[in-house]
Amino acid sequence: MCGITGYIGHKEAYPIIINGLKRLEYRGYDSAGIILNENGIFKLRKTKGKVSDLEVKCAKLNSKATVGMGHTRWATHGVPSDVNSHPHISNNGRIALIHNGIIENYGTLKIMLTSKGYVFKSETDTEVLVNLIQFMQETQKVDLFTAIRYALNEVIGAYAIAVMEVEQPEEIIVARLSSPLAIGIGENEYFIASDASPFVEFTKEAVYLEDGEMAAITLEGVDIHKIKDNAKVNPIIQELKLNLEEIEKGGYDHFMLKEIHEQPKSIMDTMRGRLLVEEGVIQMSGIWDHQEKFFNAERIIIISCGTSWHAALIGEYLIEDLARIPVEVEYASEFRYRNPIITDRDIVIAISQSGETADTLAALKLAKEKGAFIYGICNVVDSSIARLTDAGSYTHAGPEIGVASTKAFTAQLAVLSMIAIKLAKHRGTISKERFTSLITELETIPDKVEKVIRNTEEQVKEIALLYSRTNNFLYLGRGYNYPIALEGALKLKEISYIHAEGYPAAEMKHGPIALIDNNMPVVVIAPKTLHYDKIVSNIQEINSRKGKVIAIVTENDIQVRSMVSQAIEIPDVSECLTPILASVPLQLLAYYIAILRGANVDQPRNLAKSVTVE
Ligand code: M6R
């Protein structure tokens, strides 16, 4: 978690850093801080709260400094407070540090430093690291770069750090291990950030630091070395694909609403160049280049977290149903610690919007160590997971900034659909006719999503009004739409703080049915699919207990409409594609309920967009 950014050049650093922090707030927003080096004097401001609170604190800062760095925090060690906010300063007042990640052995290091007379003001692991750097500098009699290198070689954990020394106003030193760090290359100016969004309007060129690398950034350039042995590394400059419009709200009240509305385009972008209906092919080089492995796979394991895990579950339904390959889906956090059986005959697929989720990354490393072929489905290009995998398919959903994942999820479903249909074709598990009909239908999905948004948004607003004061929600679905019940419940709870649970509809009678009374809204995903009659029976069971049913139904479904309090229609599609359409009104429902409850939908409490800690 946490976002870090910095600037060194000839412009005033303060506005660049503050704007950069605003763009990084999706990574954490419980406290923020900035430090500027004004002619050899540190100017430090930090505060509990958001970047806007930091701006208030900086009202009288009045700095012309051209070098500085800033941090927006998602608390791990120590509560959100002024004192725990970054930057942290070493005991001698000379070194400042900002950090994204976790220093796992900070306790041992803190004891050692305390025994040497160091004192700590905060509860953070970061303050330990900055003092370890001071300790190395003083005991080893080395310059800052070497002291940082020595200190990092003592550290266990994950980090992206940026360090400034008060006597070196023209240098920022950065390093990374398992947390991202990009260096923007401008004309006689350099930017650092957790992702490229803080500097996209200044430069289109960036260097992404690799794990285990550190760099000294001065006005003369970027000097990269390996942390372990100081070996020099030649920087690889990449061209940024990011546009400013993509990371702005574009007239919407919230990023989440903008991202929900972007889905017709993001799904289309994800399928562009891959789904070639006229030629009758799905072109996915990641699969094609490893066709032997995929077409003959005995087992696929999909690992992920949160919403991406829900996409993985749908991936399981898709791949098993269409391509007839056994699939297991695991929470990355469980997989990595339970000594899983993995062999070199396994394909392990990681799904991650950010490509930085610590648990997914660690689970993937484990799978790789055990010899599995590892495949990534990521949204963020060049993210850690994308770079670790043997091959992969990007979801081209564009930057997703709202903490609640929406367009990345439907893009993941589009990729998984294409993979499953492609594998099915090549393994001969579906007929040619079915293949043609599925890809023809898949091509219509962006238009259908557009239609769902157009036709349901006003209705969903009205439904939200009816239920915004409710304390509990149940979501039910069967088959392909069971994971959509989980996802609908997750969306609601994470942004509105209403308790919501998702269940396979048939499981209701094994416990959750006890919760149903006339105060319990039950969202039932009930399109006309294989399980239609069964789900109709489930709705009857809810009605008999006076629960209030909000149903997602196939358009013109008179039967369910007559049985429920509210029916939200989605277009008729093959069952395996219904999850994409059914998820959209549930995203809108969560959004409008959260708005009515006055919640901050883009920055829900206690959450952050990318979870780079365990
Ligand atoms: O970046 P990832 O897809 O790996 O993130 C996984 C989860 O942290 C993420 O999906 C989270 O559950 C979202 N807040 C859900 O909206």
Question: Is 352 a pocket residue for ligand 1 (Cβ < 6 Å)?
Answer: yes
Reported as a single tens digit per residue, the pLDDT across 478-531 is 999 999 999 999 999 999 999 999 999 988 889 888 889 888 999 999 999 988
Q: Which of 26-30, 104-108, 372-376, 518-522 has the lowest mean pLDDT?
A: 26-30
Q: Cβ neighbours of residue 587 under 8 Å, at least 6 residues apart?
A: 256, 260, 404, 406, 491
Measured by CA distance, the residue closest to atom 4 of ligand 1 is 352
Q: Which of 91-95, 379-383, 474-478 has the lowest mean pLDDT?
A: 379-383
In CATH, what class is 3-246?
alpha beta
Q: 26, 335, 353: which to mutate for ligand 1, most atoms within 8 A of CB?
A: 353
- For the record, the structure tokens of 326 come out as 């056994």
Reported as a single tens digit per residue, the pLDDT across 298-309 is 899 999 999 999
CA gap 526, 481 in Å, rounded? 8
Measured by CA distance, the residue closest to atom 8 of ligand 1 is 306
497 close to 553: Cβ distance less than 8 angstroms:
no
Cα 115 to averaged position of ligand 1 atoms, centre (Å): 41
Instruction: Write down the pLDDT at residue 8.
Output: 98
In terms of DSSP bridges, do strands 182-185 and 281-282 run parallel, antiparallel, or are they unpaired? unpaired
Cα 263 to averaged position of ligand 1 atoms, centre (Å): 17
Question: Is 380 a pocket residue for ligand 1 (Cβ < 6 Å)?
Answer: no
Instruction: Write down the pLDDT at residue 428.
Output: 95
311 DSSP 8-state letter: H
Please report which residue ranges of 406-520 form alpha helices under DSSP H. 407-427, 432-467, 482-496
Instruction: Write down the pLDDT at residue 381.
Output: 87
One-letter amino acid identity for 270?
T
Q: CA-CA-CA-CA torsion for 579, 580, 583, 587, nearest 10 degrees?
A: 170
In 243-372, at which residue ranges do the beta strands (DSSP E only) sit? 275-276, 281-282, 300-304, 327-331, 347-352
Instruction: Write down the pLDDT at residue 5.
Output: 98
Residue 183: in which H helix or E strand, if any?
strand 182-185
596 DSSP 8-state letter: H
Q: How confident is the model at residue 247 (pLDDT cuts 50, 70, 90)?
A: confident
50, 448, 548, 609: the catalytic one is 609
CA gap 351, 329 in Å, rounded? 11
Question: Is 297 a pocket residue for ligand 1 (Cβ < 6 Å)?
Answer: no
Cα 86 to averaged position of ligand 1 atoms, centre (Å): 25
Instruction: Write down the pLDDT at residue 242.
Output: 79
Question: Is 487 a pocket residue for ligand 1 (Cβ < 6 Å)?
Answer: no
378 in catalytic set: no
Per-residue burial over 521-539, b if 16 or more Cβ lie within 10 Å, else e, is bbbbbbbbbebbeebbebb
One fold for 3-246 and 249-443: no
321 DSSP 8-state letter: I
Predicted confidence (pLDDT) at residue 436 exceeds the cutoff of 90? yes
Instruction: Write down the pLDDT at residue 567.
Output: 97
Residue 460's SS3 state is: helix
What kind of fold does domain 249-443 have according to CATH?
Rossmann fold (3.40.50)
Q: Return the ligand 1 atom nearest residue 354 CA.
A: 1
Q: Cβ neighbours of residue 188 under 8 Å, at least 6 residues apart?
A: 9, 10, 219
228 in catalytic set: no
Counting other chains too, the contacts that 290-294 makes at CB distance below 8 Å and 24 or more residues apart are 290/373, 290/375, 290/390, 290/391, 291/426, 293/347, 293/373, 294/347, 294/423, 294/426
Q: 349, 494, 611, 613: which to mutate for ligand 1, most atoms within 8 A of CB?
A: 611
Cis previous bond, 340, omega within 30: no
420 close to 399: Cβ distance less than 8 angstroms:
no
Q: 354, 379, 409, 484: which to mutate for ligand 1, most atoms within 8 A of CB?
A: 354
578 close to 449: Cβ distance less than 8 angstroms:
no
Mean pLDDT of 160-178: 95
Nearest to 9 by CA among 148, 182, 192, 197: 192
404 close to 388: Cβ distance less than 8 angstroms:
no
- For the record, the structure tokens of 158 come out as 């994950």
Question: Is 360 a pocket residue for ligand 1 (Cβ < 6 Å)?
Answer: yes
Q: Which of 73-77, 80-84, 482-486 has the lowest mean pLDDT?
A: 73-77
Instruction: Write down the pLDDT at residue 78.
Output: 83
Q: Return the ligand 1 atom nearest residue 607 CA.
A: 14
Reported as a single tens digit per residue, the pLDDT across 552-598 is 999 999 999 999 999 999 999 999 999 999 999 999 999 999 999 99
Cα 251 to averaged position of ligand 1 atoms, centre (Å): 25
Q: Return the ligand 1 atom nearest residue 360 CA.
A: 4
HEC sequence for 52-92: HHHHHHCCCCCCCCCEEEEEEECCCCCCCCCCCCCCEECCC
In 505-580, at which residue ranges do the beta strands (DSSP E only) sit? 521-526, 548-554, 566-570
Cα 218 to averaged position of ligand 1 atoms, centre (Å): 36
In CATH, what class is 452-614?
alpha beta
CB count, 10 Å around CB of 432?
10
Cα 145 to averaged position of ligand 1 atoms, centre (Å): 35
Instruction: Write down the pLDDT at residue 94.
Output: 97
Cα 311 to averaged position of ligand 1 atoms, centre (Å): 11
2, 305, 378, 576: the catalytic one is 2
Residue 193's SS3 state is: strand
Question: Is 404 a pocket residue for ligand 1 (Cβ < 6 Å)?
Answer: yes
Q: Average pLDDT of the chain?
A: 94
Question: Is 578 a pocket residue for ligand 1 (Cβ < 6 Å)?
Answer: no
Predicted confidence (pLDDT) at residue 76 exceeds the cutoff of 90? no
Q: List the chain domain ranges.
A: 3-246, 249-443, 452-614
Burial of 365 (0-12, 13-18, 19+ CB in 10 A): middle
Burial of 116 (0-12, 13-18, 19+ CB in 10 A): exposed
Q: Which residues pair with residue 593 across a beta bridge?
A: none
